[in-house]
Amino acid sequence: MNQPLQSAYTGYAGEVTSLEQRNRVLRNTYWLLALSMVPTVLGAWLGVATGITRSMGAGMSAIVFLGGAFGFMYAIEKTKNSAAGVPVLLGFTFFMGLMLSRLIGTVLGMNNGAGLIMTAFTGTGVIFLGMASLSTIIKRDLSSMGKFLFIGMIMLIVAGLANIFIQSSALMITISVIAIGIFSAFILYDLKRVRDGEETNYITATLGVYLSLYNVFQSLLSILGLTSSSD
């Protein structure tokens, strides 16, 4: 009789430990995500103040962005289980803020530029809160979403690179609208993976959610900037 009781207790303790671990990863993800906004803002401010990214053409800017982003993501993957993981991630977010400064500088040049940036920031926050809330409500497994979202992301990258040469405002708005949908779903997907215990590394989890938030904000700001400039 003691054996079944012991097995049941062991199973219960394992569930509690697993739940505690999931909550710890989720909590660390939220804290690191909040911290990552500081170097992002600093990078964006430095880029706007110095104009370092505005001096690059669209093609060169895309090359630097893709090369730097993939280089940093490779380094984050290699250091995610070491003490260097967090500094490398924060360095990446500084770089992303620097690359975002080109768009921010353009929008700030408009009459209502500061208001547009605050609107995009608020919209991104609302989307994040909505997806974070959904991740606590939805009980079904969302693992199957991953491959479809990844395919959609690749198509967006290809369309975005093509639009560097096409220079179509209508295509840019279309890409941005679709990007908001895809990366909003990515936020839900990544947070749900943490809650389900599928992602146990908070640095990796933070990277995924950060990239989604970054793309949602950039897409919202692009739409607001393009629609305001056409008025």
The DSSP line for the chain is -HHHHHHHHHHHHHHHHHHHHHHHHHHHHHHHHHHHHHHHHHHHHHHHHH-TTTTS-HHHHHHHHHHHHHHHHHHHHHHTTSTTHHHHHHHHHHHHHHHHHHHHHHHHTSTTHHHHHHHHHHHHHHHHHHHHHHHHH--S--TTHHHHHHHHHHHHHHHHHHHHHH--HHHHHHHHHHHHHHHHHHHHHHHHHHHTTS---HHHHHHHHHHHHHHHHHHHHHHHHHHHHT-
pLDDT of res. 97: 95
224: closest CA among 88, 75, 71, 122? 122
Say whether pLDDT at 52 is over 90. Answer: no
State pLDDT tens for residues 158-208.
Answer: 998 888 788 888 899 999 999 999 999 999 999 999 999 899 999 999 999
pTM metric for this prediction? 0.88
CB 231 within 8 A of CB 61: no
Q: Which two tokens stand for residue 69?
A: 């982003």
State pLDDT tens for residues 3-30.
Answer: 444 444 444 444 444 888 889 999 999 9
Say whether pLDDT at 216 is over 90. Answer: yes
More confident residue, 20 or 129: 129
Say whether pLDDT at 60 is over 90. Answer: no
**Mean pLDDT value of segment 139-152:** 88
pLDDT of res. 231: 56
Say whether pLDDT at 93 is over 50. Answer: yes
Q: Using a pLDDT cut of 70, give the percent of the chain over it.
A: 90
pLDDT of res. 39: 97
Query: Please, what is the average pLDDT of the chain?
Result: 88
State pLDDT tens for residues 37-46.
Answer: 999 999 999 9
Say whether pLDDT at 148 is over 80. Answer: yes
